[in-house]
Amino acid sequence: MAIKNLKKILVAFLLLTTKSFFSQEKLLDSLINSLSYNTKPDSNRLKKLVKISGFFLHSDHKKSEKYILEAIDLTKTVNNVYWKSWALYTFAELEGRKGNFINAIKFNTIASRLFDSIHQNLLAARCEYVIATSNLNIGNYNEGLSHIIIAEKKFMALNNLKEASNAMIVKSSIYSSRNQFDLQKKELLKCMDIKKTLHDSDGLVCVYAELAIPLICEKNLNEAEKSINNALNILHFNPNPYYLKACYGNLGYIFLLKKDFKKAIESYNQSLEISIKFSDKKGICESNNKIAELYLNEKDAAKSLLYAERALKISKETSDLKEEKFSYELISKAYELKGDYVNSLSYHKKFKQAEDSLLNETNMKSLNEVNIKFETEKKEQENKLLHTQNQLSTETIKQQRLVTYFVIAGLLFVAFLAAFIFNGLKKQRKANKIISLQKTEVERQKHEVEKQKHLVEEHQKEILDSIHYAKRIQTALLANKEFVNTNIKNNFIYFQPKDIVSGDFYWATQQNDCFYLACCDSTGHGVPGAFMSLLNIGFLSEAIKEKNISKPNEIFNYVRQRLIDSISAEGQKDGFDGILIKIKSSDLQSSTESITIEYAAANNEPILISNNQITELPKDKMPVGQGERKESFALHTLELKKGETLYLYTDGYADQFGGEKGKKFKYKQLNELLLHIHQLPMQEQEQKLSTTFNNWKGSLEQVDDVCVIGIKI
């Protein structure tokens, strides 16, 4: 996603602005030599250890860690608050550079308090700044925001405008992560004035690049392009390859939104050239995928395939599952464009597998963070125990060693005597035992094989039982057919999950004389898709039943925000595509010639058949969840007259591979089928859809969940 790519500039900027005073590499050899001559545990040695650790901080983490751990151990006996604070601050910075952000937050918090206690306000402010950026790195935006505000206030009180404006940039990025783009824009414009006054070119590049985010969200693409070009103009006089690559990449994204594919390809190629020059494999992979996507839009299958295959190779080398998934999707579509449906199906399956793996990887992220905290606490306990053991007096240790030597000597003597006595007996029994052991081993191995087979069968049965039980739970939450039939007399629901449980779902409820019916496709299928469907059903019910939201578009807006707040803090696109309709219950019970339907549609459009004419009704091209567009869903109104038929469906039916050539069924053929059968009784329509789907699929695997709903008054 381009907005996420823009934030790469911020990451590079943070690395520049969090360097400590240790970046001046001088007197390193003399400091190290002086340690060997002066081993006295005093403040001078503590100071030298901290400085040496700082020198190695940017080049050799192992050496840096060696010296800073000795410094921290020395603070237990040397009471110098200033250098103790510096030791903790340096250790925290080292942990941050290693990616251990929880430790970085913990030790910076202690260092900040110590610096405050000795009135070192600038250093305390820098600690708060790093606490904020560390929280930003782990997605803890609320905590990050509170600390960056503290840091900004401290810098301002010291009239340190450069570091205060750096804090503003971090604050603006937190606003962006919270989708508060108006606050982000306001913060960046305020920061821009300060950076211009200070002639801070690096800072201005970051401000201009970040400013493109809210401008894109406002659909002000010309201003976003201008902002990126302002950054590039500065980089022309002060080139920075990382900044240049990111700027050209995001300029390409802006041209893509403007549908100027030629300029988009040129910009992505410039980003690609820079990535290749500096061996940035991730950048090379992302640029190749973007260029492949653009050529696909231009219907140039050969070039799209060329760039996508390059990206796929690199994504596998770097274990970048997200880009690998994107490559599979592009290759599948390119083969489909060429008419090679066998390869298209093969890569579509790989795309679905990568999509499921990526979803599972995301769901495990929160568990990994808990494990990190557990390991940190465990390490602290081990250090405390080690410290306690070190407090034993030298005399006590000597006594313990002496007793240990006597015990070991005694045990060795007893062992030798026992070995001498029993050696003769062992030789006599050895021959008989060999035969007995061989027979026992054969029986043991046979038993072990049978045991393992039984365990595998038991585990498989337990897993299947669990999934079948999950299906019962999911089925209970889906709309009850009798409930739907009571409200809509003439309907059918064709529901065919790919696996035992489904990511597609249909759901209905009644509230305040209104009947609601949803047909939706959650992210993923199988067990991950089922989890998402349960969550989506819960949020839909919460919006209608608890929040009393009545309009379908406002219900979708509410559910989207709940999904973003709950599971999309890192920007992953989890949610659903679907249609939600609303009909007054009193209209359904009356004998009128028509009824009024209100609906909202996310990526999937309803289909209306009237007078043997088929109409694709309007939809919003965005999901209910994290996406590139953030505007409100539109509310649509439809008057369904007697004899007209309304269809709601997900993408599973149209995406199914089959037929003589193994190609997709596609939406056009699905709509023609509905037009052909729409005058049949509803149950016969459902049967026709089922028969056609199974005949088309044949012996091929079902690729996705399927849900089709028909309604006629």
Q: Tell me the backbone φ, ψ of residue 709, rounded to 5 degrees.
A: -120, 135
Q: Which of 473, 504, 527 is the last residue in one of the domains?
A: 473
309 burial via Cβ count (<10 Å: 0-12, 13-18, 19+): middle
Reference 476, options 519, 516, 503, 505; nearest CA is 505
Q: Which of 420, 450, 473 is the last residue in one of the domains?
A: 473
Residue 185 lies in a domain: no
Q: With beta carbons less than 8 A apart as the criterion, state whether 147 and 140 touch.
A: no
What are the structure tokens assigned to 138, written together?
């782990």
Q: With beta carbons less than 8 A apart as the criterion, state whether 599 and 615 touch.
A: no
What are the structure tokens assigned to 471, written together?
């299906």
Residues 372, 408 share a domain: no
Predicted pLDDT of residue 434: 60
Give the chain's residues under pLDDT 70: 1-28, 36-39, 359-443, 446, 448-449, 453-454, 456, 459-460, 462-466, 468-470, 474, 476-477, 568-572
Reference 477, options 447, 513, 522; nearest CA is 522
Q: With beta carbons less than 8 A apart as the criterion, state whether 690 and 710 touch.
A: no
Residues 631, 580 share a domain: yes
Q: What is the pLDDT of residues 511-524, one digit of tens each?
A: 988 999 999 999 87
Residues 526, 406 share a domain: no
Predicted pLDDT of residue 176: 86
Q: Which of 473, 491, 509 is the last residue in one of the domains?
A: 473
Residues 603, 555 share a domain: yes
Residues 485, 423 share a domain: no
Render 584-613 in DSSP notation, one character per residue.
EHHHHHS--SEEEEEEEEES---EEEETTE
Predicted pLDDT of residue 422: 60
Quickly count helices (H) and strands (E) in the chain: 26, 13
Predicted pLDDT of residue 450: 73
Residues 514, 402 share a domain: no
- Cβ atoms within 10 Å of 255's Cβ, excluding its own: 21
Q: 């009909």: which residue's tokens?
A: 583
> CA of 573: how far to CAs of 180, 490, 625, 706, in Å?
18, 36, 6, 21
User: What is the number of domains present in the chain?
Assistant: 4
How big is the CA angle at 100 (ends 99 and 104), to the nearest 5 degrees?
A: 115
Reference 58, options 24, 35, 26, 31; nearest CA is 24
Residue 513 lies in a domain: yes
Residue 515 lies in a domain: yes
Render 88-106 in DSSP notation, one character per residue.
HHHHHHHHHHTT-HHHHHH
Predicted pLDDT of residue 417: 58
Amino acid symbol at 71: A
In this structure, are strands 575-584 and 663-664 parallel, antiparallel, or unpaired?
Answer: unpaired
Residues 521, 448 share a domain: no
What is the Cα–Cα distance from 228 to 244, expressed in whole angstroms?
Answer: 10
Residue 239 lies in a domain: no
554-569 burial by CB neighbour count: b if 16+ within 10 A, else e?
bbbbbbbbbbbeebbb
Residue 273 lies in a domain: no
Residues 447, 542 share a domain: no
What CATH number does the domain containing 556 carry?
Answer: 3.60.40.10
What is the Cα–Cα distance from 287 to 270, expressed in whole angstroms?
Answer: 9
What are the structure tokens assigned to 375, written together?
């390991």
Residues 153, 11 share a domain: yes
Q: Is the pTM of this model over 0.95?
A: no
Predicted pLDDT of residue 377: 43
Where in the sequence is the domain holding 454, given as residue range(s)? Answer: 397-473
Residues 317, 168 share a domain: no
Half-sphere exposure of 406 (CA within 13 A, CB side): 5
Predicted pLDDT of residue 481: 83
Residue 343 lies in a domain: yes
CA trace torsion 679, 682, 683, 688 (10° rounding)? 50
Q: In sequence order, which residues have a C-beta less than 8 Å from that of residue 273 and are 6 or more positions away?
A: none
Residue 237 lies in a domain: no
Predicted pLDDT of residue 692: 95
Residues 349, 378 share a domain: yes
> CA of 604: how far to CAs of 162, 393, 650, in Å?
49, 75, 7
Residues 500, 591 share a domain: yes
Q: What is the pLDDT of residues 482-500, one digit of tens each?
A: 888 888 989 999 999 988 8
